[in-house]
Amino acid sequence: MSTYSTRLVVGYIHNLLAKTSRTSPMARNLVSWLDGNLESLGIAPGFDWEEAIDRRNTLSAKNWQAFYDTVARRRNQLRTKPDRLWLNLRELAAETHLDDLEFQILELLLLKRKDDYGIACLLEANDDTGPFYMPKFIASLLGVSMQNVQRALSPTARLLTTGLVTDDGSYSGWTHEMPSYLVAGLLPPNTGMKDLRTSILGPKETTELGWDDYEHIARDRDLVGSVLSGAMKERARGVNILIHGPTGTGKTEFCRMIAKRLRYPLHSLGNKAMPQRFRESGDRCSQLQLALKIAQAGTLLLFDEMEDILDAGEGLAQLLGHGRMKMDKSKANATLENNALPVLWTSNNIEAFDEAFLRRMTMVVEIGPPPAKVRERILRRSLGRHNLSLGDADIATLAKSYPAAPALVVNAVKAASLAGGKTMSDIRHLLGLSLKAVHGKPPIVVATGLPEFSMDLIHPDADLVTITERLAKHGEGSFSLLLYGPPGTGKSFYLRHLADRMGMEVLLKRASDLKSKYVGETEQNIARAFTEARDTGAFLIFDEADSLLFTRGMAHRSWEISEVNEMLTWMEQHPLPFGCTTNLLDIVDDAAMRRFLFKVKFHHLPRAKVAAAFRHYFGMDPDGCIALDNLTAGDFAVVSRKAALLGKSRDAKALMELLGQESRAKPGAGKRKTGFTVS
């Protein structure tokens, strides 16, 4: 312990002795604590301490006065200058314009955090007598009035509104603390405000991503840049921009990219600057408050994952200077409207935030997953920076198969480079690990090596050749298709082909991607799917759509009706083409049926198309006529993979037998007359 720390503690003891009755609980706690600290504090009582303490843990009036005189002499001996820790605190107090009492309270709270001489035990031994006892005890320690201490620690006073002190919001006990990150910043070797500022704000955020990597939200990106540029030039107050969207869509990287583009330093609060164990406490909020006071002009601040402040319970209230007490909305709004520096906020889910809070945001931007073209561009650039090379086809496959945030792509390539990996397999594996960690499940990889689409592989009840040509040439705008029929008949296959003909990327959503066990979340996922397709210009495909559009008369719960209603609402207003597939047309709601412009049934392949599919998949003619009336393109794809594993890809007779097995395995196949006719 430093000599200055000893001087502070001895001064507190002197004030307690002067202000406290020797028989009070506070005095008895002091005597108990002193029993183990007299020697380390350099205090010699002048009498036998153990003999002088009676069974009630008190001193006689004579010994109390003698001990007071001894402590006073010891305090006068400790005329010493503060060391670097305490000088740092003085500089911070000057920077935040604290008065003498506020500075003394900070000294006490810092000493409690450091726990020199075990002083925390003394303080906490006197914290359980109600909400007004702690200010009284602090006043006794500092030798000031309780009313002044109460004012200094009120929710709207400078100590709390600057983030130098946090309040846990309870109504008893030791409620006020100095944030842990601040204690760490004050410790040597940090010297002066420059080091303090660096410690509190953390390092400047950087990114490998560029302006073009967010071309899919170009309008919002450009507006955010213009708003921040204008705010900096005019030194506008109360500028808050909220960036929200699902996990893994590149929200944090977007903020970093904007700062890099505008050439303003960006500091992330509660990220690298703060250990993980403090992220869910009021420390993050107090860090923002203090950063707004000490950061230099021209600085951007990032509050990442802002939902943490709701999970922490008291976090938002602490940010607004109100502990856990009921917040005054006018004061809360004033806080958001008067921050001196622009703040970028990110959130994975804004549903829990009060509308009044959201209305105070200068701008709210939603970011969805980047389209495949953007992911491909990021992947190519990252590979080049790390001297890795993949073929164009491999890069395209990775971009389509792994809907990863830009940061995950960059990190996967970096990890592959560090590991000495140079193959697509390494990068694919690393991306898969990251996506599983972020989304809780591995990605669904787009299959490679499938044959090109051919009308010979499907058997619809409409002239899709003509429809496809027409839509490919004049299909701009909104139209919808419902494709129904048995599994494997090529419904999704055709929709992908149509999107390709129209020059649109595919956004495929399975019912399992959208359905949630939480009430209301399925509707949110449906809305996000349509919004993502709209924002990225993608052709939206709902696979297994029957579970999202089933007849509402079959519903047993209110949210099941709500989910269908959400789909119907978006179907009517979606400005781009989209398609749905189902194997169960009978359960699709009548209102949904009316909203589809094209309704096409896909049948099993007739014998002529079965032979054409055989040639398409296997590159040879069948060994005779295939008299099977329940085959689909999906069956040929399965047999193609099975034959490759069995080494029978060039054996026509074996291929026909495998097709027969697939046919016989289908429900109701035993009632049909199936087989082969030898030519």
CATH number at residue 593: 3.40.50.300
Integer angstrom CA distances of residue 123 from 116, 128, 146, 208, 230: 12, 10, 16, 50, 49
Q: Tokens 């003085």, residue?
A: 90
Examine the domain organization and report whether 580 and 616 are in the same domain: no
Residue 366 · residue 245 · CB < 8 Å: yes
Of 94, 340, 130, which Cα lies nearest the Cα of 102?
Answer: 94
Examine the domain organization and report whether 203 and 141 are in the same domain: no
Residue 670 lies in a domain: no
- CA 268, CA 429: separation in Å to the nearest integer? 30
**Amino acid at the residue 38:** L
Q: Provide the pLDDT for residue 482.
A: 95
3-state DSSP call for residue 248?
Answer: coil
Examine the domain organization and report whether 8 and 124 are in the same domain: yes
Across-strand partners of 550?
588
Q: Provide the pLDDT for residue 568.
A: 92
Cis peptide before 131 (omega within 30 of 0): no
Specify the long-range contacts of residues 521-530, CB closer than 8 Å, at least 24 apart: 522/559, 522/563, 522/566, 523/562, 523/563, 523/566, 524/351, 526/563, 526/566, 526/567, 526/570, 527/566, 527/570, 528/246, 528/368, 530/570, 530/574, 530/578
Of 327, 332, 330, 366, which Cα lies nearest the Cα of 346?
Answer: 366
- What tokens does 63 get? 């010994």
**Number of structural domains, the chain?**
5
Give backbone dihedrals phi and psi of 198, rounded to 5 degrees, phi first.
Answer: -65, -40
Integer angstrom CA distances of residue 333 from 339, 341, 354: 11, 16, 12
Q: Provide the pLDDT for residue 127.
A: 56
Examine the domain organization and report whether 149 and 281 are in the same domain: no
Among 178, 205, 234, which residue terminates a domain?
Answer: 178
Examine the domain organization and report whether 17 and 127 are in the same domain: yes
Examine the domain organization and report whether 206 and 264 are in the same domain: yes
Examine the domain organization and report whether 42 and 131 are in the same domain: yes
Among 563, 583, 601, which residue terminates a domain?
Answer: 601
- CA 395, CA 448: separation in Å to the nearest integer? 12
Give backbone dihedrals phi and psi of 355, rounded to 5 degrees, phi first.
Answer: -60, -35
Of 346, 343, 197, 344, which Cα lies nearest the Cα of 273?
Answer: 197
Structural domain including 145 reads 3-178
Examine the domain organization and report whether 226 and 281 are in the same domain: yes
- What tokens does 543 get? 């696979």
Specify the long-range contacts of residues 416-424, CB closer than 8 Å, at least 24 apart: 416/386, 416/388, 417/386, 417/387, 417/388, 422/388, 422/389, 424/390, 424/394, 424/397, 424/398
Half-sphere CA count of 142, side-chain side, radius 13 A: 24
- CA 231, CA 337: separation in Å to the nearest integer? 13
Examine the domain organization and report whether 547 and 639 are in the same domain: no
Among 178, 205, 221, which residue terminates a domain?
Answer: 178
Residue 317 lies in a domain: no
Residue 427 lies in a domain: yes
Half-sphere CA count of 522, side-chain side, radius 13 A: 21
State the DSSP code for 588.
B
Residue 676 lies in a domain: no
Residue 434 lies in a domain: yes
Residue 467 · residue 483 · CB < 8 Å: no
Give backbone dihedrals phi and psi of 116, rounded to 5 degrees, phi first.
Answer: -60, 135
Residue 516 lies in a domain: yes
Q: Provide the pLDDT for residue 679.
A: 46
| Strand 176-177 versus strand 166-167 pairing type | antiparallel
Residue 671 lies in a domain: no
- CA 334, CA 472: separation in Å to the nearest integer? 54
Residue 315 lies in a domain: no
Examine the domain organization and report whether 471 and 577 are in the same domain: yes
Examine the domain organization and report whether 383 and 422 are in the same domain: yes
E strands, 326-479, in order: 343-347, 363-366
Residues in the chain with pLDDT values less than 50: 129-132, 272-281, 311-315, 317-318, 320-331, 448-450, 674, 678-679
Give backbone dihedrals phi and psi of 343, rounded to 5 degrees, phi first.
Answer: -120, 130
Residue 659 · residue 671 · CB < 8 Å: no
Examine the domain organization and report whether 35 and 167 are in the same domain: yes
Question: How many Å separate Cα 584 from the centre of its chain?
Answer: 37
Which residues lie closer than 8 Å to 393 by C-beta, 6 or more apart? none
